[in-house]
Structure formats: C-alpha cells, structure tokens
C-alpha cells in the first residue's frame, strides 16, 4: 500500500488572489494534532463574505498562499491531542471560527471575541473547505441533540455573529422596534429571528422580491426595498415618525449613514462586516443631540455560539439555506455570493473521504 497516497486528503485551496481568485483542488498532508488540538472531519462548511475578502486580498490581514478558506465548520472529531479532555473521537461539533488563546485578560472573562491573540480560521490558518481541519480543542462546541451538520454550518458563524450583536453588544427589549439590514443574508436572516424571539417588532430590507419574501417569512413585519432612496423615510412612517430603537447593520458605506435617519432618539446602531464600505462620513451634531449610540461588534464569544446552537436545538432559530455545493464547485459558490444572488446561506460539503482500502 502506498502510504503517501492515502495519508493525504483533499483541500480546495486558494492559490492566487483575485475576484475571482484562482483555486485548485489539492492533495495536502493529513493534519497531525498537537497536544491541545483536534482534527475534525468536515461535514459541512458555510460560505461567508469574509471568504470573498480573503479570495480578493481585501482583508487588512496578510494571507499566506496556498490557503484553505472556510471558517464555518461543522464536523466529527477524528483525532485528539494528548492533553485534550473536552472531546473525543466521534463527537459531533461546531468550530468557533474566531480562534482565541483562552488565556489573555479578555478570554479569561469570557470575551473571546476581544482576544489579544485572536486568529481567523480559514484566513490566518487553513479552514474548512477540505475533508479535514486542524483546530485547537478549546474552539469546539458539541452539537446539541437535533442540530444537524448543515444547520450548524449555516448558523455558527453568521448566526452567532447576530447573537453577539443582539444579546451581547446591544440589547433588545420587548416591544422595541428593530431594523435588520439585509434580511436575506446570513447575519440578517438570524438577526430577524433573534429580534423577534426577544419580543421586538422587526423591519428589514431586501433588494429583490425573493429576498423580501424570505425576510417576511422569517418574521419581519415590514420589508423595504433599499433601491428606493426614500426607504429611511418609510421606516419613520412605519414607526409613526419615532424611528427604531436598534439597527442591526452589517453593510457599512452609505447604508450605515442612512441608518442614522431611521433611529429613534436614544437609539443604537450595532454594526459589523462593512461589506459595502469601511469609511463613512459622520455628522456628530445629530449624533450627540439625539444621543445615539454606534456600537462595533466582532465575531462572537463562546457563550454566543453556545446560545446559537441551543436556540437552534429548541427550534427558535432556523437556518436559511440557499444551496449546497460540493468541494470542487467552490468557484461557482463564490460567484453566487459575489453576485448577491443568495437567499440565506451557501454551504460547502467535502467529498466522501478516501478510505484506507481505496
């Protein structure tokens, strides 16, 4: 038997940056866990905007090529390092994509999203668009009963981002008006459901009829078309001129500026992502006169990921899955997300792994 052949596995790797970038299905060495690491057999991995940025070298983080992208991993533990106590081979797990040290000031108080030594799975190190992924054991959360791999891969990055925004960085009170930008996106589709569960009345936006329909279906009472430049005025009309208490914003650029026009006095915008622009003009006068808040949100804490999966198990948070692509169709999946033709999440599923007898 040729050990060199079966000890290798398939990974779909980015080999040159671009939009589209250049990918290649490659044989890579089988990962060997260090003492605190685990090897997870990937069952499903969500595609996110961060993958498009990594593809196009659009992140303020240098990426060493070749790189296996993909941070939203659900899978089964295959092998564990000698010091790993929290999981065993065969466990079904989700991986927290913002890898954290577990020891710094922020990690010790449960704010892993603020880790001083944080790294991004699929950016700083090889991610889940592969048959197997090597991660620190502390980043795993066991899947609760009833949460399938696909549901986990559709919720653990985008859904827990929304959970962090709505329950950690900001808060929602019963009867609040919440505006969720981009209700058919990964973050938006989860944010609508979370806000609704917390007792809010939800307004959302969607650029196509299908996206607006999905946002409605997920619980938004009103869904506006952002192509209409008057959409912030519509928000004021719906709320009887008062404006909303909270905006969940993940687009940035001009959209963020317009969100201030939708805010009630004392209202809050919580923002992440900035997919449409990272620099925005900012008028301080109405900001302090109306006592607005603008809150940054990044990634998630372990508690947010745990809550996301528990909500999924309880049926309070349902994944919105657009489509599932096999590993070798990644360029088509990236193109679909790039063209914003997506309702919910795109998932990537690896081939069946090559067995020893092959």
| Shortest separation between residue 114's beta carbon and Zn ion, angstroms | 8
Phi, psi torsion values for 16, nearest 5 degrees: -150, 135
| Shortest separation between residue 71's beta carbon and Zn ion, angstroms | 17
Residue closer to Zn ion, measured from CB, 98 or 189: 98
Give one DSSP letter per residue of 283-332, joined into a string: -HHHHHHTT-EEEE--S--HHHHHHHHHHHHTTSS---EEEEEEGGGHHH
Residue closer to Zn ion, measured from CB, 139 or 185: 139
Residue closer to Zn ion, measured from CB, 44 or 160: 160
Residue closer to Zn ion, measured from CB, 132 or 138: 138
| Shortest separation between residue 38's beta carbon and Zn ion, angstroms | 19
Which pair of tokens denotes residue 135?
Answer: 């991660």
| Shortest separation between residue 139's beta carbon and Zn ion, angstroms | 12
> Binding to Zn ion (CB under 5 A): which residues in 63-102?
100-101
Phi, psi torsion values for 167, nearest 5 degrees: -120, -15
Select the span of 52-60, 107-115, 123-131, 181-189 touching Zn ion (CB under 5 A): 107-115
CA-angle at 333, arms to 331 and 338, nearest 5°: 90
| Shortest separation between residue 111's beta carbon and Zn ion, angstroms | 9
> Binding to Zn ion (CB under 5 A): which residues in 12-51?
none
What is the Cα–Cα distance from 20 to 294, expressed in whole angstroms? Answer: 33
Select the span of 114-122, 256-264, 302-310, 328-336 touching Zn ion (CB under 5 A): 114-122
Residue closer to Zn ion, measured from CB, 103 or 261: 103
What residues have CB less than 8 Å from 306, skipping those under 6 apart?
141
Of 74, 107, 235, 305, which one interacts with Zn ion (CB under 5 A)? Answer: 107
Distances from the Cα of 24 to the Cαs of 27, 118, 330, in angstroms? Answer: 10, 28, 10
Select the span of 51-59, 106-114, 184-192, 203-211 touching Zn ion (CB under 5 A): 106-114
- Residue 203's DSSP bridge partners are 179, 222
First-to-last alpha carbon distance for the chain, in angstroms, is 10
| Residue 115 found at the interface with Zn ion (CB under 5 A) | yes
What is the distance of C-alpha 211 from the center of its chain? Answer: 18
Residue closer to Zn ion, measured from CB, 13 or 168: 168
Secondary structure in 3-state letters for 149-174: HHHHHHHCCHHHHHHHHHHHHCCCCC
Residue closer to Zn ion, measured from CB, 118 or 344: 118
Of 25, 28, 56, 104, which one interacts with Zn ion (CB under 5 A)? Answer: 104
Identify whether the C-beta of residue 44 lies closer than 8 Å to the C-beta of residue 152. yes
| Shortest separation between residue 177's beta carbon and Zn ion, angstroms | 36
| Residue 114 found at the interface with Zn ion (CB under 5 A) | no
Binding residues for Zn ion, per CB under 5 A?
100-101, 104, 107, 115
């Amino acid at each position: 038997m040729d050990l060199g052949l079966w000890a290798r596995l398939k990974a779909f790797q980015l080999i040159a940056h671009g939009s589209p970038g250049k990918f290649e299905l490659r044989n890579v060495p089988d990962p060997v866990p260090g003492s605190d690491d685990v090897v997870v057999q990937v069952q499903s991995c969500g595609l996110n905007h961060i993958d498009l940025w990594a593809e196009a070298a659009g992140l303020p983080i240098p990426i060493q090529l070749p790189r296996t992208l993909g941070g939203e991993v659900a899978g089964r533990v295959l092998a564990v390092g000698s010091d790993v106590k929290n999981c065993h081979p065969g466990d079904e797990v989700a991986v927290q994509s913002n890898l954290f040290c577990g020891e710094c000031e922020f990690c010790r108080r449960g704010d892993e999203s603020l880790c001083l030594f944080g790294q991004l799975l699929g950016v700083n190190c090889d991610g889940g668009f592969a048959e197997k992924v090597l991660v620190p054991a502390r980043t795993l959360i066991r899947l609760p009963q009833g949460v399938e791999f696909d549901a986990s891969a559709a919720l653990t990055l985008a859904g827990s981002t929304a959970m962090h925004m709505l329950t950690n960085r900001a808060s929602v009170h019963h009867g609040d008006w919440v505006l969720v930008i981009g209700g058919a996106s990964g973050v938006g589709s989860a944010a609508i459901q979370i806000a609704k569960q917390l007792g809010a009345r939800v307004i959302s936006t969607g650029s196509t009829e299908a996206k607006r329909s999905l946002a409605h279906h997920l619980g938004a009472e009103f869904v506006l078309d952002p192509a209409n430049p008057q959409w912030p005025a519509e928000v004021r009309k719906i709320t009887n001129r008062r404006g909303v208490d909270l905006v969940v914003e993940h687009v940035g650029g001009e959209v963020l500026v317009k969100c201030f026009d939708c805010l009630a006095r004392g209202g809050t915008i919580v923002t992440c992502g900035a997919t449409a622009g990272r620099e925005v003009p900012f008028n301080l006068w109405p900001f302090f006169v109306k006592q607005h808040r603008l809150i940054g949100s990044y990634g998630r804490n372990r508690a947010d990921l745990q809550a996301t999966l528990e909500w999924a198990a309880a049926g309070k948070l349902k994944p919105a899955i657009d489509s599932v692509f096999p590993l070798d169709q990644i360029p088509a999946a990236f193109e679909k997300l790039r063209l914003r033709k997506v309702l919910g999440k795109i998932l990537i599923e690896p081939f069946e792994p090559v067995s020893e007898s092959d």
